[in-house]
Amino acid sequence: MVAMRKTTQREFSVIVERDEEGYDVARVPELPGCHTHGEKESTPWPAR
């Protein structure tokens, strides 16, 4: 028996801001706790 998984594609807003120390911080307002940071934005995100 093969288990089938239903997938759903969702779109979220991502906000990227530079903090006081010069790091880029990305967050997803619709997903509490979903954030990341780094020294620079390494790759541009595709526009939709």
pLDDT at res. 1: 72
Determine the pLDDT at residue 22: 83
Q: pTM of this prediction?
A: 0.59
pLDDT digits (tens, 9 = 90+) for 1-29: 778 888 899 999 999 888 888 888 889 99
Q: What is the pLDDT of residue 33?
A: 92
Give CA separation, 37 vs 14, 15, 23, in Å: 12, 11, 7
- pLDDT score of 45 more than 80: no
> Which is nearest to 17 in space by CA: 45, 47, 37, 46?
37
